Amino acid sequence: MTEPETDATRTARAQAPATAGTPTSGATPTSGATATSAATATSAAAPTSAAAPTSAAASAPAGAPGTVGRELRRRPLFLVTGGCVLLLLVLAVAPGLFAGWFGHGDPRVCDLGDSARGPAPGHPFGFDTQGCDLYANVVHGAGASLGVGLLATGSGLLVALVLGTLAGMAGRVVDSVIARVTDIFLGFPFLLGAVVVLNTVTSRDVFTVAAVLALFGWPAMTRVVRASVRSAREADYVVMARSLGGSEWHIVRRHVLPNILTPVLVLASITVGGVVVAEAALTFLGVGLQSPSISWGLQLASAQNTFQTHPHLLIFPGLFLSFTVFSLIAFGDTVRDALDPRTR
Other residues' Cβ atoms within 10 Å of the Cβ of residue 313: 25
Note whether 273 and 329 are within 8 A (CB).
yes
Whether 14 shows a pLDDT value over 60: the answer reads no
Other residues' Cβ atoms within 10 Å of the Cβ of residue 137: 26
Whether 6 shows a pLDDT value over 70: the answer reads no
Upper half-sphere CA count for residue 50 (Cβ side, 13 Å): 6
- Among candidate residues 100, 110, 94, the one with its CA nearest the CA of residue 143: 94
- Secondary structure letter of residue 103 according to DSSP: S
Please tell me which residue, 322 or 129, carries the higher pLDDT value: 322
- What value does the mean pLDDT of the chain take? 79
Angle CA 226–325–161, to nearest 5: 20
How far, in Å, are 87, 151, 276 from residue 219 at the CA level?
A: 30, 16, 18
Note whether 262 and 339 are within 8 A (CB).
yes
Give the Cα separation of 126 and 135 in Å (integer): 7
- Among candidate residues 240, 255, 329, 224, the one with its CA nearest the CA of residue 65: 255
CATH of 61-107+124-343, one of 3.40.50.280, 3.20.20.70, 1.10.3720.10, 3.40.30.10: 1.10.3720.10
- Among candidate residues 194, 134, 118, the one with its CA nearest the CA of residue 320: 134
For the stretch 303-327, pLDDT in tens is 988 888 899 999 999 999 999 999 9
For the stretch 150-179, pLDDT in tens is 999 999 999 999 999 898 888 788 989 999
- Among candidate residues 282, 170, 159, the one with its CA nearest the CA of residue 219: 159
Whether 24 shows a pLDDT value over 50: the answer reads no
Confidence at 338, pLDDT banded by 50, 70, 90? confident
Q: Is 142 exposed, middle or buried (0-12, 13-18, 19+ CB in 10 A)?
A: buried
Confidence at 135, pLDDT banded by 50, 70, 90? very high
Give the Cα separation of 234 and 229 in Å (integer): 9
Q: What is the pTM of this model?
A: 0.74
How far, in Å, are 42, 47, 237, 242, 255 from residue 56 at the CA level?
A: 22, 15, 10, 18, 15
Q: Does residue 4 have a cis bond before it (omega within 30 degrees)? A: no
How far, in Å, are 53, 91, 178, 301, 320 from residue 138 at the CA level?
A: 54, 10, 41, 13, 8
Whether 182 shows a pLDDT value over 90: the answer reads yes
- Secondary structure letter of residue 257 according to DSSP: G
Angle CA 43–60–269, to nearest 5: 155
Measured N-to-C along each axis, helices 261-284 and 190-198 cross at an angle, to the nearest 10 degrees, of 50
Give the Cα separation of 222 and 183 in Å (integer): 11
**Residue 44 falls in which region: left (phi positive, over 0), alpha (psi -120 to 50) or beta:** alpha
How much is the pLDDT for 68? 62
For the stretch 67-88, pLDDT in tens is 666 767 777 888 899 999 999 9
For the stretch 280-309, pLDDT in tens is 999 999 999 988 889 999 999 989 888 888
- Secondary structure letter of residue 120 according to DSSP: B
- Among candidate residues 290, 142, 128, the one with its CA nearest the CA of residue 209: 290
Note whether 194 and 277 are within 8 A (CB).
no
